[in-house]
C-alpha cells in the first residue's frame, strides 16, 4: 500500500471516529466557546473594576514616594515623635487621644532617633489619599544597634488641599479601638496588607529585625524584657491616673452641686426673710410668756418676755407667732400677744374686742399701703393665694369678726388680716 492510500485510510478512520463521537466533540466545542466569552467579557469587567474602583491602588505595585509634601509630613512625624512633642503632632495628624498622647510622651524617653530609610505608597480610596509604608531604623538610647521596622499611615488631603495623617488608622488606634473607624477604609487596609509585594517587604524587614536582635543581646534584652515591662507599668499608671481624674471630677461635680444647692437654699431663705420683713407687723405682749426656739411648747426655751413689750411679728405658725427676739427669730404663743388693730389668734375671741376692730363693707375697694399676703383661709399659717403689693387695690367681699377680711384680688379670692387694711 503506497503512502497516499495509507493517508486516506487514516483520514477515513478519524472521520469515522468523529462521527461516532460527535456529541462529545460538540460539547467540547461549546466549552471552548464559553471560555472565550468569559475571557473576552468577564475578564474585561474585572480589569475595568480594578482600574476604576476604589481599590485600584491596592493591586498596583509599591511606588517609591516622590511627593515632597508627603516626605516632609512623614519626616515631621518622626521628628516630633522622637522628641515626644505631642503639640507638634496635633498639627499634622488627627485625632490623637489622651491615651496615645500619654504613650508617646512615655515612649519617647527611650528613643534617640528615627532614621527614615524608605517611603512606599499605594493609592488610597481616592486619588488624594495614600496607603503609606515607611521603613525606619529606630535607635534607642544607650543601645548601639538600631531596630529595623515598618510603620503604616493613611494619609489624606484636607479641605485646604494640605496632606495630613488620618490617625484613626494608626497602629495605636487599631490596637486600642479608641475611635470608631470607617469600614470601607479598614477593608482597604486589610486588602493592602494581603498583597504580595507588601508581604514580601514585611518579611524582609522582619528578617532584618530578627537579625539585629540576634546580633545585639543588649537590644534583644531591652525590647523583650525592659521595654515590655515598662509598657505594662505605663499602662497601669495611666489607668490609675484616669481613675483618679474621674474621681476628682466626680468629687468636684458633687461639690459644685452641693454649693449650688446651698446657694439655692440661701437664696430661698433670703427671699423668705425679705417676704417676712415686707409683711411684718407689730404687736404687744399682754402677759409674761416664754420664748421658744420652735413653734412648739416642747421646744427649747430661749428666755422670757414681760407683758407690755412691743414686738415685731413675721408670721404665725399654728398657735405661735414668729417674732424678733434680740435679733434672733423666735416663737411666742399667740395668746400672749395683742396685735395692733386687733388679735387674730385662736384665743382672741372677746366679742367686745372684735367689735372695736376695723371692718369693711362688701364692694369696698381698698388701696394697699403695704405689701400683704392673701391667704386661702383665715389663718396666718394657711397657704398663700397671692401676694398683693403696696399701691395695688383689692375689693372687699366680706369682713369677719375673727379679724379677717375676704377680698378679691384680680381673679383670685382670699383672706387678708383686717388690721393690715386701711380705709
Q: What are phi and psi of 332, to 5 degrees?
A: -140, 145
63-215 CATH, one of 3.10.450.100, 3.30.70.1350, 2.60.40.10, 3.90.550.10: 3.10.450.100
Which position has the grid cell 458633687? 254
| pLDDT over threshold 70, residue 377 | yes
pLDDT attached to residue 116: 97
pLDDT attached to residue 188: 94
The half-sphere exposure of 111 on its side-chain side, counting CA atoms within 13 A, is 21
pLDDT attached to residue 271: 83
What does DSSP assign to residue 202? H
Cell of 414: 382670699
Architecture of domain 279-340: Roll (2.30)
Closest CA to 100 of 158, 177, 180, 163: 177
* pLDDT confidence band for 295 (50 / 70 / 90): very high
> In which element (H, E) is residue 236 found?
helix 228-278
Q: Rounded mean pLDDT of 272-289?
A: 85
What are 12-38's pLDDT values in tens digits? Answer: 665 565 566 555 556 666 566 666 555
Contact 113, 82 (CB under 8 A): yes
% of the chain with per-residue pLDDT over 90: 62
Query: Under CATH, which number does the domain 357-420 receive?
Result: 2.30.30.40
Most confident by average pLDDT, 31-45, 263-277, 297-311 = 297-311
pLDDT attached to residue 205: 96
* pLDDT confidence band for 160 (50 / 70 / 90): very high
Most confident by average pLDDT, 41-45, 315-319, 354-358 = 315-319
| pLDDT over threshold 80, residue 401 | no
pLDDT attached to residue 287: 85
* 117-150 burial code (b ≥16 CB/10 A, e <16): eebbbbbbbeeebbbbbbbbbbbbeebebbbbbb
Most confident by average pLDDT, 244-258, 272-286, 367-381 = 244-258
| pLDDT over threshold 80, residue 101 | yes
| pLDDT over threshold 50, residue 366 | yes
The half-sphere exposure of 243 on its side-chain side, counting CA atoms within 13 A, is 6
Per mean pLDDT, which range of 19-33, 232-246, 265-279 is the poorest? 19-33
Closest CA to 314 of 368, 378, 269, 380: 380
Per mean pLDDT, which range of 43-47, 283-287, 324-328 is the poorest? 43-47
| pLDDT over threshold 80, residue 183 | yes
pLDDT attached to residue 356: 36
Contact 331, 293 (CB under 8 A): yes
Q: How many helices (H) and strands (E) does the chain have?
A: 12, 19
- Helix, strand and coil in the chain, % to nearest 5: 45, 25, 25
Q: Rounded mean pLDDT of 280-292?
A: 90
pLDDT attached to residue 268: 86
Amino acid at each position: 500500500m503506497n503512502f497516499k492510500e495509507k493517508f486516506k485510510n487514516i483520514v477515513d478512520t478519524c472521520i469515522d471516529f468523529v462521527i461516532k463521537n460527535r456529541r462529545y466533540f460538540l460539547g467540547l466545542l461549546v466549552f471552548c466557546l464559553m471560555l472565550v466569552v468569559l475571557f473576552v467579557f468577564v475578564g474585561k469587567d474585572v480589569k475595568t473594576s480594578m482600574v476604576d474602583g476604589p481599590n485600584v491602588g491596592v493591586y498596583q505595585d509599591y511606588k517609591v514616594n516622590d511627593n515632597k509634601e508627603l516626605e516632609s509630613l512623614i519626616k515631621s512625624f518622626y521628628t516630633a515623635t522622637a522628641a515626644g512633642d505631642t503639640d507638634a503632632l496635633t498639627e499634622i495628624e488627627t485625632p490623637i487621644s489622651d491615651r496615645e498622647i500619654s504613650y508617646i510622651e512615655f515612649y519617647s524617653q527611650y528613643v534617640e532617633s528615627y532614621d527614615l530609610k524608605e517611603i512606599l505608597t499605594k493609592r488610597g480610596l481616592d486619588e488624594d489619599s495614600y496607603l503609606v509604608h515607611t521603613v525606619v531604623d529606630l535607635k534607642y538610647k544607650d543601645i548601639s544597634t538600631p531596630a529595623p521596622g515598618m510603620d503604616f499611615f493613611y494619609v489624606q488631603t484636607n479641605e485646604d488641599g494640605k496632606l495630613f495623617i488620618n490617625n484613626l488608622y494608626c497602629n495605636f488606634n487599631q490596637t486600642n479601638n479608641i475611635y470608631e473607624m470607617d469600614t470601607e477604609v479598614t477593608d482597604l487596609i486589610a486588602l493592602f496588607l494581603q498583597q504580595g509585594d507588601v508581604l514580601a517587604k514585611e518579611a524582609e524587614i522582619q528578617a532584618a529585625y530578627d537579625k539585629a536582635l540576634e546580633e545585639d543581646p543588649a537590644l534583644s534584652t531591652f525590647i523583650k524584657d525592659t521595654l515590655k515591662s515598662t509598657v505594662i507599668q505605663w499602662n497601669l499608671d495611666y489607668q490609675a491616673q484616669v481613675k483618679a481624674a474621674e474621681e476628682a471630677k466626680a468629687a468636684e461635680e458633687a461639690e459644685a452641686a452641693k454649693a449650688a444647692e446651698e446657694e439655692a437654699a440661701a437664696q430661698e431663705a433670703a427671699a423668705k426673710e425679705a417676704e417676712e420683713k415686707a409683711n411684718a407687723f407689730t404687736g404687744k405682749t399682754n402677759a409674761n410668756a416664754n420664748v421658744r426656739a420652735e413653734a412648739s411648747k416642747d421646744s427649747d426655751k430661749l428666755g422670757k418676755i414681760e407683758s407690755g413689750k412691743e414686738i415685731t411679728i413675721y408670721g404665725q405658725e399654728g398657735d405661735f407667732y414668729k417674732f424678733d427676739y434680740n435679733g434672733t427669730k423666735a416663737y411666742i404663743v399667740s395668746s400672749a400677744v395683742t396685735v395692733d388693730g386687733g388679735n387674730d389668734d385662736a384665743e382672741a375671741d372677746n366679742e367686745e374686742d372684735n367689735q372695736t376692730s376695723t371692718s369693711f363693707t362688701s364692694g369696698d375697694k381698698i388701696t394697699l399701703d403695704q405689701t400683704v399676703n392673701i391667704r386661702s383661709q383665715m389663718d396666718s399659717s394657711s397657704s398663700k393665694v397671692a401676694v398683693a403689693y403696696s399701691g395695688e387695690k383689692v375689693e372687699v367681699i366680706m369682713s369677719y369678726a375673727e379679724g379677717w377680711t375676704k377680698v378679691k384680688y384680680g381673679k383670685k379670692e382670699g383672706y387678708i388680716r383686717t388690721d393690715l387694711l386701711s380705709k
